[in-house]
């Protein structure tokens, strides 16, 4: 269990032992889902652990909080330092980091009123979402009977706790049906995204992906892959995608902090392309990991090194 290795948690400005980082059962967030969170990866690099695109994750965290009227109460600089502190204290060479800001205990009416807001940052060692083998062999997906909620129902580009029930329903159904993951359609029947990943297609040497008009969470991995693909010379077209685009694709893959770049090999029993990881997916995957682990120095600006606070950052470290 990955949590067994996590010893320290940042809670409200203090580093405390994992087992003491608890929330009361009367917390508003537990009942009504009133919280926002982030999922961030910290990769092992030659210069020690480095948090991938920390700035962008903290920006989305604050945008999610703003749209749900939650006041985080810490600056981005304070949160960035807190993330580094949690990684350092736990001594992880690489890990997954989960900042969360939620409405605590005070009232249990729908309107949380002036109930205090709490902020915590957890970290734990985490393998890639679908397991290392899936990076090579890909995953099997099913088109969900649950529809991705539209942004007129809840802000779809925010990463809020309660909205994940939509994803949980979809992924539970997918697993029950014998698949690895769900693909959700939007309210117009176009492709939206996976339960926790964005989706890319490869067709005739071009990458295709959708955007917020199809109710997706605007993934930071998605943005990274768009930039990496363009640098590698692949055209990337951002447009609405239909199910037949997916079924007719040469290759398809998911992107996400947890899933990284995972090939999709089959949709409801129908093979995508050759039914194995395609060459473009393999190239994008390799380039993504080279960027995230600091091997490709063109993307060093994406890395926030977790250098010890007491020592000056090493030359070249951001």
Contact residues for ligand PPE, defined by CB under 6 A: 39, 164, 167, 193, 196-198, 217, 219-222, 255-258
Residue 252 Ramachandran class (φ > 0 left, ψ -120 to 50 alpha, else beta)? beta
- The smaller minimum CB distance to ligand PPE, of residues 115 and 257, is found at 257
Nearer to ligand PPE, 67 or 276 (CB): 67
Closest CB 292 distance from ligand PPE, rounded Å: 12
* Rounded (to 5) percent helix, strand, coil in the chain: 30, 30, 40
Burial group, residue 221, by CB count within 10 angstroms (0-12, 13-18, 19+) = buried
Question: Residue 26: left if φ>0, alpha if ψ -120 to 50, beta else—which one?
Answer: alpha
Instruction: Name the residue number minimizing CB distance to ligand PPE.
Output: 39
Which is closer to ligand PPE, CB of 68 or CB of 222? 222
Q: In the complex, what is the shortest distance from the CB of residue 181 to ligand PPE, in angstroms, rounded to a whole number?
A: 11
* Closest to 141 measured CA to CA, from 218, 193, 189, 186: 193
User: Pick from 176, 177, 197: which is nearest to 134 by CA?
Assistant: 197
Rg (CA), the chain: 20
Distance of CA 24 to the CA centre of its chain: 27
| Cβ-based nearer residue to ligand PPE, 18 or 164 | 164
For residue 159, indicate whether it is catalytic: yes
Nearer to ligand PPE, 240 or 276 (CB): 240
d(CA 245, CA 82): 43
CB of 300 to ligand PPE, least distance (A): 20
Which residues are CB-neighbours of 131 under 8 A, at least 6 positions away?
none
CB of 204 to ligand PPE, least distance (A): 25
**Residue of 53, 68, 88, 159 marked active site:** 159
Closest residue by Cα to residue 284 from 231, 238, 239, 220: 231
Instruction: Give me the least distance between CB of 82 and ligand PPE, in Å please.
Output: 18
**Contact assessment for residue 192 and residue 185, using Cβ atoms and an 8 Å cutoff:** yes
Instruction: Give me the active site residues, please.
Output: 159
């Amino acid at each position: 269990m990955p949590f067994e290795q996590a010893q320290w948690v940042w809670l409200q400005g203090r580093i405390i032992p994992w087992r003491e980082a608890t929330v009361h059962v009367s917390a508003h967030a537990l009942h009504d889902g009133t919280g926002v969170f982030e999922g961030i990866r910290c990769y092992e690099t030659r210069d020690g652990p480095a948090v991938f695109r920390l700035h962008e994750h903290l920006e989305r965290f604050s945008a999610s909080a703003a749209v749900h009227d939650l006041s985080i109460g810490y600056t981005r600089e304070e949160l960035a330092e807190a993330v580094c502190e949690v990684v350092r204290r736990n001594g992880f060479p690489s890990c997954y980091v989960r900042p969360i800001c939620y409405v605590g205990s005070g009232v249990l009416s729908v309107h949380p009123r002036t109930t205090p807001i709490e902020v915590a940052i957890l970290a734990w060692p985490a393998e890639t979402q679908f397991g290392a083998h899936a990076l090579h062999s890909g995953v099997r997906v099913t088109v969900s009977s649950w529809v991705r909620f539209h942004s007129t129902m809840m802000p779809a580009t925010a990463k809020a706790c309660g909205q994940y029930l939509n994803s949980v329903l979809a992924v539970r159904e997918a697993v029950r049906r014998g698949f690895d993951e769900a693909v959700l359609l939007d309210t117009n029947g176009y492709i939206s995204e996976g339960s926790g990943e964005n989706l890319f297609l490869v067709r005739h040497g071009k990458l295709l992906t959708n955007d917020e008009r199809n109710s997706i969470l605007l993934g930071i991995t998605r943005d990274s892959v768009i930039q990496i693909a363009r640098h590698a010379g692949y055209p990337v077209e951002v447009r609405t995608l239909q199910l037949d685009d997916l079924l007719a694709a040469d290759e398809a893959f998911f992107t996400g902090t947890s899933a990284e770049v995972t090939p999709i090999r089959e949709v409801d029993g129908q093979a995508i392309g050759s039914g194995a990881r395609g060459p473009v997916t393999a190239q994008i995957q390799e380039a993504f990991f080279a960027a995230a682990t600091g091997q490709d120095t063109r993307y060093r600006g994406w890395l926030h090194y977790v250098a010890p606070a007491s020592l000056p950052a090493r030359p070249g470290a951001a």
